[in-house]
Amino acid sequence: MTNLEKYNQVFILNFLVKEEQLPGMSLGSVSVWDSVGHMGLIAAMEETFDLTLETDDIIDFSSYENGKQILNKYKIDI
């Protein structure tokens, strides 16, 4: 699986959404992505890519697009 596929899978499995819904998705834009959902998403990202996100990055991880840039900082190219 490519990193993009892995990245998308985390969203799809966590939020029970379809791939085509992902662009533009952000914290609060769907009911499953609330603070509880966010914690689950972050935990799954950390496990999938084997890293620990810093506080600011957890908070900035507030949209599908932002998340890609944040993972770039951890040398994960998506």
Partner 1 sequence: MYNRSLLLTHRDNIAAITDDGITVKYGDILDFSDLLYSKIGHRCLIFALCQNRPDSLCAYISFISNRVVPLLLDDSLDKELLFNLIETYKPEYLWIPVSRLHEFSDETVVFSSNEYSLIRLSHEIQFPLHDELALLLTTSGSTGSPKLVRLTYANIEANARSIAEYLAISDSDRPITTMPMNYSFGLSIINSHFLVGATVLLTNKTLMEKEFWAFLKRGEATTMSGVPYTYEILKKLHIFKMEIPSIKYMTQAGGKLNPDLNREFAEWALKSNKRFYVMYGQTEATARMSYLPHQFAISKLGSMGIAIPGGVFSIIDDKNNPVEGAEIVGELVYKGGNVSHGYAECGDDLKKEDENKGILITGDIAKRDSDNFYYIVGRKKRFIKLFGNRVNLDETERLLKNIISDCACTGEDDHMIVYISDISREQEIREYLALKTGINIRGFSIRYIDKIPKNTSGKTIYANLPIR
In a 3-state reduction of DSSP, which class is residue 20?
helix
- Joined together, the tokens standing for residue 1 give 């699986």
Restricted to residues 22-41, the positions that interact with partner 1 (CB under 8 A) are 27, 31-32, 34-40
Interface residue with partner 1, options 58, 66, 74, 76 (CB under 8 A): 58
CB of 24 to partner 1, least distance (A): 18
Distance, CA of 35 to CA of 51 (rounded, Å): 20
Cα→Cα distances 39→1, 20, 69, Å:
24, 23, 18
Interface residue with partner 1, options 5, 47, 54, 65 (CB under 8 A): 54
- Joined together, the tokens standing for residue 4 give 């993009």
> Which residues of this protein are in contact with partner 1, per CB under 8 A?
16, 27, 31-32, 34-40, 42-43, 54-55, 58-60, 62
